[in-house]
Structure 1
Amino acid sequence: MSIVIIGGFLLISISVGGMIAWIFSTLFHYTTHGLSLVCGGFLIGLLILDIIPSAFQLYELFALLLGCVIGYCLFHLLHSLHHIQNTSVSLLTIAMILHTIPLSLTIGNLLGNAALTMPIIISLILHHIPEGFALSTALLSQGEKYWRLFCYFIIFSMFFSFFVWAGQYWSFTLKVQGILMGLSIGLIAITSLTELIMQPFRKTTAITALSSILFGFLMSYLFHLL
């Protein structure tokens, strides 16, 4: 299986998530604040339903907590750099890339192994549709152009492909992977709560805000069932 083909599958997967986000934003005529709240609710649901339970099964608690603390510090560090635009999108992009590193390294380690079949690779990569949905709603809430969505997806798939390639030659220990996963969880959690939920919550009505957050959470639950 070629690394380029694997990266192409990931690009398709997150692009599908992006198209779903665009369709929902168009159908329901969400404002930028509404999209932020939907994205925040979706990411909270993604953490509760998928990422955190899986992380606790695979990694040590200390490594995850240490990663979360590092993520919290990184969040405040990036916020102190006022020249960075769209901080929430930048943080989410970093968090999503970190989230894919353990998986991409594992795929790289297994390349050429008969146990790594095409259906397994496709099923693993399809799990990144939610990442495409989350990044797209975050970008659309910032008023980004549609063509920039695809640029983010290409960058995302390039990082994924790089770590698949790197996984053929080296791999992280479970502790390091746990720290990376905790870092990803910390960044996603604090960005969702502070940037995507709390800030726009103050700028819209309580009913509209709560319904948008609930809609995002329900979307994460639907992805969880797939």
Structure 2
Amino acid sequence: MQLNAMMLGGFLFFSISIGGAVALFVSRLFQHTTQGLSLLCGGFLVGLLVNDILPSSLKMYDSFGIILGVIIGYLLFLILHKSFHSTITLKPSLYLLAIAMLLHTIPLALTVGNLLGNATFGITITTSVILHHLPEGFALTIALLSQGERLWKLFLCFSGFSIFFSLFVWIGHFTELSNQGQSMLMGVSIALIATTSISEFILHNIRHVPKRSFLTFILMGYLLSYVFHIMV
């Protein structure tokens, strides 16, 4: 089967939707409690960084580029965090996480685009796209539910995510971003995910739940992330 950017975008939508469905099931166990879901999401994102994103990034990309990207990402977090918090209608944690996930997707999409012409990688690419984004779907759904948003916004988020991915697969088919550039993008993504998970999802709720519940929610989120890591 000859793959193209639109088909891969569809596979990605399917993948993150499965992750979202798992998140909806888990959220029912917590009865949609805002603080519990936020801490669960924070623990999950920390686990995603520790178990998956950081190790794979350090193996695949340039260390200096990642460090530079982390610095840029942290500065970007400070700017966006201040901007979002100055507007009551915006949910800073959700928007910052969405931006981080989009940036995290760009290097993979460009790499996939470069391999589209090679039929040998068809099954490998499809499997990678389907499995790699299960955790992203889970994290985005838990984040959205913790902010009290409606599910139709989740559909728009997933659709936009898939279109964005397809666009950069198409770009990657015709152009190639340097390893240094991809490393910086990964660094920015890592910084935004780390600062958002710790600042917005964990520290923001530290005073709203008992210490035992606080640690339990974070640990459960981390363990869920580890389960995803083993699965994919």
Does the pair score TM above 0.5? yes
Distance apart, 1:92 and its partner CA = 0.6
**1:188 has 2:193 as partner:** yes
Structure 1 unmatched ranges of 5 or more: none
CA offsets per residue over residues 4-41 of structure 1, 9 Å max, x none? 11101100100111111110101232411110000000
Is 2:186 the partner of 1:162? no
State the partner residue of 2:107. Answer: 102
Equivalences for residues 1-226 of structure 1 within 5 A: 1-81=3-83, 82-83=86-87, 85-226=90-231
Helix, strand or coil for the counterpart of 2:13? helix
**By how many angstroms is 1:201 displaced?**
1.5
Root-mean-square deviation (CA, aligned residues, Å) is 1.1
Structure-2 separation of matches of 1:33 and 1:210: 12
Letter in 1 for 2:97: L
Query: In percent, how many aligned pairs have the same letter?
Result: 52
Cα drift, residue 3 of structure 1: 1.7
Q: Secondary structure at the match of 1:202?
A: coil
Paired with 1:26 and 1:174, the residues of 2 have a C-alpha distance of 42
C-alpha distance after superposition, 1:133-168 (max 9, x if no partner): 001111100000011111100011110000001011
Q: CA deviation at 1:194?
A: 0.6
Equivalent residue of 1:51, what SS?
helix
Q: How far apart, CA to CA, are the structure 2 residues paired with 1:125 and 1:172?
A: 23
TM-score by length of 1: 0.97
The CA distance in 2 between the partners of 1:38 and 1:214, in whole Å, is 8
Q: Which amino acid aligns with 1:210?
A: L
User: Which segment drifts farther, 21-30 or 7-16?
Assistant: 21-30
Contact 2:12–2:129 under 8 Å retained in 1: no
Q: Deviations over 1:51-86 (max 9, x none)?
A: 000111111221111111111111110122122611
User: Residue type matched to 2:34 in 1?
Assistant: T
Question: Bigger shift: 51-60 or 110-119?
Answer: 110-119
Q: Which runs of 5+ in 2 are unaligned?
A: none
Matches of 1:10 and 1:126 in 2, distance apart? Answer: 9
- Find the aligned partners of 1:204 and 1:187 in 2 and give their Cα distance: 25
| Runs of 4+ more than 6 Å apart | none
* TM-score computed with the length of structure 2 as normaliser: 0.94
For 2:123 and 2:9, the matched residues in 1 are separated by 13
